[in-house]
Each structure stands twice: as structure tokens, then as C-alpha cells.
Amino acid sequence: MSLPPPAAPPGGVAPVGGDLVTGEAVVLELRLAKLPSRTLAILLDLAVEVAVLAGCLLLLGATASGLDGAAAAAIALVVVVGVVIGYPVLLESLTRGRSLGKLALGLRVVRDDGGPVRFRHALVRALLGVVEVWLTTGAVAILVSLASAQGKRLGDYLAGTVVVRERMPVRGAPMSAMPPALAPWAATLDLSRLPDDLALAARQFLARAGELAPQVRAAMGSRIAADVARLTTPPPPLGVHPEVFLAAVLAERRRRDSVRHVPSPSAPPPAPPLAAPPEEPPGPDRTAPPGFAPPG
């Protein structure tokens, strides 16, 4: 029996003590970013964009002297749009919610359900950012963030995203043990595409599975297991339970991380040189007559 396809969460998230709570009432221990840190991250990103934009326009002015005014203006417009919109869209899509400013401040954009953002989320946020940040010098973004319990701006509301702090300490959840029957299969897994945030969601789900209603537990376990199965190969064995599958994946991931971070054993110290045999004391002079001892 293969893992069922993921089911859409029945609701969004609500802040409880600063955490993100999914529609299945599972707490994702991600702390919402505050307005000062978000503002500083945006200012860092704006500084990078302005520097790149100025450099591109200066280069365009130096190389496009032979173009007419309309062509130069069209190229300049493409450069401006590429920097103002392309920069955040490209970085947030490739880094799963991080820009240079957010990376420096330890922030990250995630979906309302705690999952990683994709291209469409980044595009919506960037398009609204033109109005919220550039055209109004950030006034709209600040006012909307102050009125939002989760610190969202308009782009976050339309994209269904929220900015969180990923450098906050996370309360430890029990580690999943490797199911013995799945150990040989887990050793062959390709985990290179499994993101940290999805692994964290799986670990937190397993830690709280006993607190959930049976229907919610089954639906959420199947959804997370399907997400993990799409990003790992080979597929899970037929008939494996979603929670057993997640436990095997997390245990194997933890084992590989521990092996990767164990320092290689140092070379054994060289063997000490063999000591020269002690010199034997000189024997009696064989040329001396019997009973005679050489003078000391």
C-alpha cells in the first residue's frame, strides 16, 4: 500500500505564544519575526538592490551611447524591473524563503502552514513589495504589519506567507528510533532533497502524534509522509505505516548527520625508536696473566 496523496490542511495558522499552529492543531516551534528585525532585513535588501541597480544603470549609460532614447529607456525599465522584482523572487525561490537581508538577520519566509515557499509565493510578495516598500517608502508595509497579529504585510496576506525567526532555540523533541525492519532500506535513501523545515515538521508531528485525535493524526501523518516520500528515493516499502516511514527517514538522517560531524580519527603516534642494546662492560684482559686484574 503506497502512501496516500497529501491532503490540504483544513485551516491556516494562528499565533499561540509566538508559535505557528497548523489547522491540525500541531504546534510548529517557529517564532514569528518582529517588526524591527523585519525592517532591518528589508533595509539590507534595499541597500543591495540600490547598489546593483546603480551599477547596472551606470554600465548601461556607458555602453548604450549609440542607442536612441526609446531603446535606452526600455532597457533601463527592464533593468529596474529585473532588480526590484527579480532579486527577491529569485533569492526567495532558490533559498526557500531567504534573501540576503533575511539571511543576515536569521529570518525566513514560510507558508502559513509552516512549509517552504515556492516561486508563486515569492512573486506575489515581490509584486506587492513594489507598492508597499518602494512607492510608499515602506509606510504601507509598516502600518499593515503593526495592525497584524503575525506581523504580516499585504504581500504576506495575499501570498499566504509569514516571516519567522529560524535561529531561535527549538525545544527538543524525542528522537525517532530506527525501525529494525526498515534499516536496510533506509541505508539506501537519497536524502539530499529533503529540506530542514520539512524534517522539523515531521519530527514535531511524531513527538505530538499521541496528543492528536485519531482522524487528525492519520490525515496529517499521511500528508507529511507523502511530502517526504516525494523528496526521497527509493520509495517506501509497500504497506509501511506513514509514522513508521517518517521515523525511519528521520533516524537515518540523524545517523548520517552524526557521522558527517564526527572528526576523523587522528593518525596513530609513531612508534618510539628501538633503544640500542646496552653496552656490555669490558671483560677481563685475556692477555694478562691469571689472577691479574688491570688497574682501575
Q: Cell numbers at residue 282, please?
A: 669490558
Task: Check residue 277 and give its pLDDT.
Answer: 53
Task: Check residue 290 and give its pLDDT.
Answer: 43
- List the beta bridge partners of residue 111: 161
- What gap in Å lies between CA 180 and CA 49, rounded to an integer? 52
Give the residues of the chain that fall short of pLDDT 50. 1-28, 169-173, 283-296
Task: Check residue 31 and give its pLDDT.
Answer: 78
- What gap in Å lies between CA 123 and CA 87, rounded to an integer? 10
- What gap in Å lies between CA 92 and CA 70, rounded to an integer? 33
Task: Check residue 17 and give its pLDDT.
Answer: 38
Task: Check residue 6 and give its pLDDT.
Answer: 41
Task: Check residue 67 and give its pLDDT.
Answer: 74
- The verdict on pTM exceeding 0.75 is no
Task: Check residue 280 and give its pLDDT.
Answer: 52
113 within 8 A of 223, measured Cβ to Cβ:
no
